[in-house]
Amino acid sequence: MDVIEYSLGTQQKAEVYINRLFAYFLDPEQPHRMNSEFLRAFLNGLPDACGFEEDIHDLSDVVVDDQVRLTEQVGGETLSSGFVDLAVQVPNEWFLLVELKFSAEDTQTEFYRQDVTHIDGVPKDDYESGAYYLYLHQNDRPDANDPEFSNWTWTAFVETVLTNFIVNNAPRYPQRTVVQLHEFVDDIRSITGMSDPTDDVDEKVELYLDHYDAIADVTDTFENQWETFSHNWPSRLSDRLVTADEGSIRSESDYHVLFECANDAIGDWWFRSTSSDWGMIFKHGWWRHTDDLTDVLHGRPDDRNDARSGFHHRLENDRETAIRDNTLTLYFRNMGANDQSFIDAVSEHFDERADAIDAALPDAASRTENKRNMISAEYDIVPDEHSDFFAAYVAALERGFSDLVVENPDLIAILDDTYTGAVAEVYNTQITMSTQ
């Protein structure tokens, strides 16, 4: 509190403190040692109404600032300006403006969205991927004046994001950061008038502290196993597929397996584990360099000029669902890092084939009506039927791959046509899909 002007009233001091601490936690560059994990949890936890669909696997370019100047400029002249509480952005790609409200009424959201032309001097039009707006307020206060601002209460944020993040991650972070996170919860509860934790919560906290060493040991063991699995699932999946006579391994490295399906109509597939979160499963030919579309890729080029689509499972993002609910979700994704014109073209070609896709999809899968994750399929993870949880996870992956790929040439042919049609429309290049 020493860094805050003492001329402010007590309430204002607390609000400014929370704003600054929030920005501190969200910023991967700050010395809290959480890197981008809290930011990723925050973005993943945004309310559905926000429509946030960006690819947040790589947040190395993200910029987080508080009290960011927004201006309305015409002909280089500033007509009006204001300061938004938080701005999260990847320059030239997307931005999220967050207005934090405690006691005051909303007076700025309409200006922020409708009139503002520049964010910290940068034209809004420079952001090619997406613009998102969030209004975080108390339960008993009105929603944002602007209807395009997504409304989220402090109570929902604390219960669905902040508390869960602390419980799931506290043993991995420095004690000082964990203490700050707990104080952050207490400060939000105090300033927003939320109820204090119940006796049941206090009892659970006491149990956690009493058994901290045992919990930390068990957690570390599982984390190590999970980290190993996040890199070796491609080889484990391909081994199961080979055992089931569904194909053969063409090549294998530390992070990639190239798998040849027994059905020639399906072609060759890449299983890619370079990310601890995004488990990629895509056909050879669904990832190309946009400067030379004959250049088929299985990794991100240095200049990032690529066009890709494919199936994926989210190891980190969906981990709680996998462990708690024993459910694996496989997605077919129109990748968020693609050129916006290519994203739109893939979506249009996909929607044109909606009836044929519905007819080809297995019972476990459905179209989502989402431009990015376009198909979603759920499979049971059944640890009791396998040697351990990870073997059960791989078995669920095998069922999904068989359902959506090996036994589904009709669906793969449709997705081939969707990709090649979008390439022809956006890049004026005719390509064909090879079986290898």
Convert the pLDDT of each residue in 333-392 to its tens digit. Answer: 999 788 889 999 999 999 999 999 999 999 999 999 888 899 999 999 999 999 999 999
pLDDT score, position 193:
74
In this structure, are residues 373 and 363 in contact, taking their beta carbons and an 8 Å threshold? no
Report pLDDT for 265: 87
φ, ψ at 435 (rounded to 5°): -70, -20
pLDDT value, residue 12: 61
Contacts for 324 with CB less than 8 Å, ≥ 6 apart: none
- Structure confidence at residue 196 (pLDDT): 56
Reported as a pLDDT band with limits 50, 70 and 90, residue 435 is low
Per-residue pLDDT reduced to its tens digit, 164-207: 999 888 888 888 898 899 889 888 888 887 755 555 556 777 77
The stretch 150-162 carries a mean pLDDT of 94
- The candidate with the shortest Cα–Cα distance to 267, out of 405, 418, 421, is 405
pLDDT at position 50: 93
Give residue 227's pLDDT: 93
Q: How far is CA 241 from the centre of its chain?
A: 29
pLDDT attached to residue 371: 84
Q: What's the mean per-residue pLDDT of the chain? A: 90
As a dihedral over the C-alpha atoms of residue 283, residue 284, residue 287, residue 293, rounded to 10 degrees, the angle is -140
Cβ distance 346 to 309 under 8 Å? Answer: yes
Angle, alpha carbons 94-98-99 (nearest 5°): 150
Tens-place pLDDT, residues 68-108: 999 999 988 999 999 999 999 999 899 999 999 987 788 89
Of how many residues is the chain composed?
Answer: 436
pLDDT score, position 7: 39
**What mean pLDDT is predicted for residues 390-400?**
98
Predicted local confidence at residue 3, as pLDDT: 42
Buried b (16+ CB within 10 A) or exposed e, 167-201: eebbbebeeebbeebeebeeebbebbebeeeeeee
Q: Which residues contact 376 (CB under 8 A, 6 or more apart)?
A: 329, 330, 331, 365, 366, 368
**281: part of which helix (H) or strand (E)?**
strand 278-283
Give the pLDDT mean for 5-27.
Answer: 72
The model's pLDDT over 290-322, given as tens digits with 9 standing for 90+, comes to: 999 999 999 988 888 999 999 999 998 888 889
